[in-house]
């Protein structure tokens, strides 16, 4: 039932559950909202320092609300069945954001960071097919070839491309094609040698890369798709004639105007892709992205996203990638994520921003800070010798009930910690833990990443989750903080 006409709507009574360390920040955040959120907030501080360590059963056992509430909000890290909390509170329980700094946006607009809220509705569709080339495939054992193909497929490859070596004939190419097809792979062959082209086609390859006017006749009776390239690099010479022949013969084809490296006609080559789209409006086009990712001193993820966006906008539906050079060794996975991001952006006319955190490898989507005032207040409220570490303002902050230290050099910070509290040195595993955490903090400061103690740094899809110091030291079967 809504409010009686002429009477103001009643604010929702909401209890925010937190730990001791976050109490000050939570109260200040809620006070800063004023009446904008249309709630009457209550802060329920439970007997634990770090709110992220709460579990729903533990919260249910310790939560005592003096008055009825309409809703209970728990920190986003508190995973598990909330039924026990709802029973104890006598009100619905929900998870708020993992980070307190996201609370205003969540209360006012119902929005969360991409990592917390999940993908938009319908996200994940794509229109670009990924061909993943296994370079020097002829040098691999059958077992190694299958293992490479399986890794590529797991990372998102649609077609496994067998890279052949120019100037030689790989007699085992047909066996390799059949072996992969028998294992359920779609297969293409990357060769300009007419004999290898025929071997691959007879064995069941669905696509041949590539033919030009000089060898166009070999494509006539292959029975599979071909990629057609211009007769002369850095031009579109001969392409009209080759396309006309392929159409006359009924051969399905994709056009590759050839992407050039930076300094060797990169900009002009992008122009050729646009020219091909204008001249052959309905033709399928393929782009080989390796000339940029493999031949540029830059991490490949950003380059792959940029090229995928170009492809999505002009209707290029096939990309060929390699991942040989170390900085491009995850290109298949990057393209798999990139094609979904750019498809979402183009289809919905939405910026490709705050959607796909899996591609934020080097830096985070947000590296917010608590602020000096909050850290000082936290340090004053600590009642135990356990060390808390923060990385803010270009400095590592280490605090306990016995000290509050800051510094840019983790070695100096640790030496000072040991001088203030010699007990720190008694447990080798704890010494290792503190060094490990301070190194993560220093890495976060260096890259502008967000650091949270006892959690792994976020490296997009490369992130390695950590069990955390507390969970590692918890006894088997122990469920609570």
Residue 269 burial (CB count, 10 A)? 19
Query: Residue 2 — very low, low, confident or very high, per pLDDT cuts 50/70/90?
Result: very low
Tokens of 88: 């104890």
The span from the CA of 213 to the CA of 75, in Å, is 64
pLDDT at 367: 65
pLDDT confidence of residue 473: 53
Which range is least confidently modeled, 30-44, 104-118, 300-314, 413-427? 104-118
Q: Which of 179-188, 216-225, 314-323, 376-385 has the lowest mean pLDDT?
A: 376-385
Give the confidence band of 261 by pLDDT, cuts at 50, 70, 90: very high
pLDDT band at 22 (very low <50, low <70, confident <90, very high): confident
The pLDDT tens digits of the residues spanning 53-99 come to 788 999 999 999 988 999 999 988 888 899 999 999 999 999 988 87
Going from the C-alpha of 59 to that of each of 42, 80, 183, 470, the distances in angstroms are 16, 11, 50, 18
Question: What pLDDT does 7 receive?
Answer: 44
Taking only the tens place, the pLDDT of each residue in 419-476 is: 999 999 999 999 999 999 999 999 999 999 989 888 899 999 999 888 765 555 544 4
pLDDT at 475: 44
Instruction: Using DSSP bridges, classify how beta strands 318-321 and 284-288 pair: parallel, antiparallel or unpaired.
Output: parallel
Q: What is the reported pLDDT for 66?
A: 86
Helix axis angle for 142-155 and 173-182, nearest 10°, is 50
Is the pLDDT confidence value at 200 over 90? yes
Residue 182: its pLDDT value, please? Answer: 97
Inter-residue contact 223 to 201 (CB < 8 Å) = yes
Which pLDDT value is given to residue 295?
97
| CATH, domain 129-355, list 3.20.20.70, 3.40.50.720, 3.40.50.10190, 3.20.20.20 | 3.20.20.20
For 119-161, the pLDDT digits (tens) are 788 899 999 999 999 999 999 999 999 999 999 999 999 999 9
Q: Which CATH architecture has domain 12-117?
A: 3-Layer(aba) Sandwich (3.40)
8 Å CB contact between 134 and 162: yes
Cβ pair 173, 136 in contact under 8 A: no
Domain-by-domain residue ranges, the chain?
12-117, 129-355, 372-473
């Amino acid at each position: 039932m809504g409010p009686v006409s002429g009477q103001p709507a009643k604010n929702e009574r909401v209890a925010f559950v937190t730990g001791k360390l976050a109490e000050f920040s939570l109260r200040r955040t809620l006070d800063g909202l004023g009446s904008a959120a249309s709630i009457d907030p209550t802060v329920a501080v439970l007997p634990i320092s770090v709110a992220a360590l709460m579990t729903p059963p533990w919260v249910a056992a310790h939560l005592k609300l003096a008055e009825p509430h309409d809703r209970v909000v728990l920190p986003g890290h508190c995973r598990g069945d909330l039924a026990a909390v709802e029973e104890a509170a006598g009100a619905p329980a929900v998870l708020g954001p993992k980070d307190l700094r996201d609370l205003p946006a969540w209360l006012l607009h119902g929005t969360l960071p991409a990592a917390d809220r999940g993908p938009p509705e319908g996200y994940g569709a794509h229109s670009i097919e990924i061909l993943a080339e296994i370079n020097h495939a002829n040098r691999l054992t059958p077992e190694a070839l299958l293992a490479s193909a399986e890794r590529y497929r797991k990372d998102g490859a649609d077609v496994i491309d067998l890279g052949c070596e120019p100037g030689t004939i790989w007699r085992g190419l047909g066996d390799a094609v059949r072996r992969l097809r028998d294992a359920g792979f779609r297969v293409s062959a990357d060769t300009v040698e007419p004999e290898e082209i025929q071997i691959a086609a007879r064995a069941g390859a669905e696509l041949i890369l590539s033919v030009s006017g000089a060898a166009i006749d070999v494509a006539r009776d292959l029975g599979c798709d071909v990629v057609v390239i211009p007769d002369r690099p850095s031009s579109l010479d001969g392409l009209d004639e080759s396309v006309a022949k392929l159409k006359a013969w009924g051969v399905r084809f994709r056009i590759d105007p050839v992407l050039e490296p930076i300094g060797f006609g990169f900009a002009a080559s992008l122009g050729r892709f646009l020219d091909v789209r204008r001249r052959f409006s309905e033709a399928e086009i393929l782009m080989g992205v390796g000339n940029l990712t493999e031949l540029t001193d830059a991490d490949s993820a950003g380059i792959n996203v940029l090229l995928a966006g170009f492809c999505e906008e002009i209707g290029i539906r096939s990309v060929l990638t390699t991942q040989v050079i170390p900085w491009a060794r995850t290109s298949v996975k990057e393209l798999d994520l990139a094609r979904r991001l750019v498809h979402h952006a183009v289809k919905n006319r939405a910026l490709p921003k705050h959607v796909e955190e899996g591609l934020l490898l080097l830096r985070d989507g947000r590296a917010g800070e608590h602020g000096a005032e909050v850290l000082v207040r936290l340090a004053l409220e600590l009642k135990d010798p356990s060390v808390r570490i923060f990385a803010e303002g270009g400095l590592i902050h280490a605090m306990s009930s016995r000290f509050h230290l800051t510094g840019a050099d983790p070695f100096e910070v640790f030496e000072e910690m040991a001088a203030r509290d010699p007990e720190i040195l008694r447990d080798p595993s704890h010494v290792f833990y503190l060094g490990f955490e301070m190194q993560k903090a220093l890495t976060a400061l260096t890259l502008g990443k967000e650091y949270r103690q006892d959690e792994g740094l976020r490296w997009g899809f490369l992130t390695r989750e950590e069990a955390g110091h507390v969970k590692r030291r918890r006894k088997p079967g122990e469920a609570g903080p």
